A = this chain, B = another copy of it.
């Protein structure tokens, strides 16, 4: 990252600040919205807000770390020698990625035993995916990167299978006006996650330099915002719609949107 221009530095700096603001605002949105959904969906919104809260914390750290890694001397950008700590991302994902899948299961409001089984399975697979990816991220050889990256793809593909085959029947049983949103939500998970292995393996085939770093940092930031905030808004909309259905069948039950 030594040859980063001031423009590239600033773009990344602003992207991190943008992400912090987005996640902090999203957290408040989800938690304020808890009052507007039926009791059985409140936990889903609590967790949706937790995911963006944890992400806000990590983006604050990432932003600070980025600011400490560079300085301006007479208007020119200079590395300070303090390394930029990219590992905050893995710490974040280890917490947030399992929780993301749990919020999707919770908002579906399945039978209790199915909720526990599916949330546990998806949560553990997600944690395993992150844990297996990390040794590849810090590996010094392309071979190790390929090895750990490939291992990490096993739980990833299993999660995709669970979402698109395992959950099919349960999605078909969702109320009609929520079904399309649940379907969109699982696609948002899979498509936003697809960016991470692309970046990971770009490192393994030797793509690097200032421009690659810029694309990676800004790309991770966009992928995180889609996977957490945009996904969270879908969870919120599903919860509000399903609460509205409840309300129309029992007039006093729930304040809707």
Contact = CB atoms under 8 A, between A and B. Distances in A.
Contacts of A14: 85, 87-88, 90-91
Given A28-B50, A72-B81, A75-B83, A257 B91 contact: no
Contacts of A7: 138
Nearest to A76: B81
A18 interface: yes
A160 interface: no
Given A25-B50, A39-B257, A81-B75, A32 B32 contact: no
B95 A21 contact: yes
Given A72-B82, A88-B17, A32 B33 contact: no
Contacts of A74: 81
A42 interface: yes
Contact of A40 (B35, B81, B256): B256
Contact of A25 (B43, B53, B72): B53
A29 B88 CA distance: 22
Contacts of A20: 57
Contact of A83 (B32, B72, B91, B138): B72
Contact of A46 (B21, B33, B73, B256): B33
Contacts of A28: 46, 49-50, 53
Interface residue SS majority, chain A: helix
Interface centre among A85, A94, A257, by most B CB within 10 Å? A257
A81 B257 CA distance: 50
A129 interface: no
Interface string A10-35: 10011001101110110011011111
A57 B10 contact: no
Nearest to A7: B138
A54 interface: yes
Contact of A24 (B21, B24, B47, B57): B57
Interface of A: 6-7, 10, 13-14, 17-18, 20-22, 24-25, 28-29, 31-36, 39-40, 42-43, 46-47, 49-50, 53-54, 57-58, 61, 72-75, 81-83, 85, 87-88, 90-92, 94-95, 138, 255-257
Given A14-B87, A73-B81, 6 more contacts: A20-B57, A21-B95, A24-B53, A29-B46, A29-B47, A40-B257
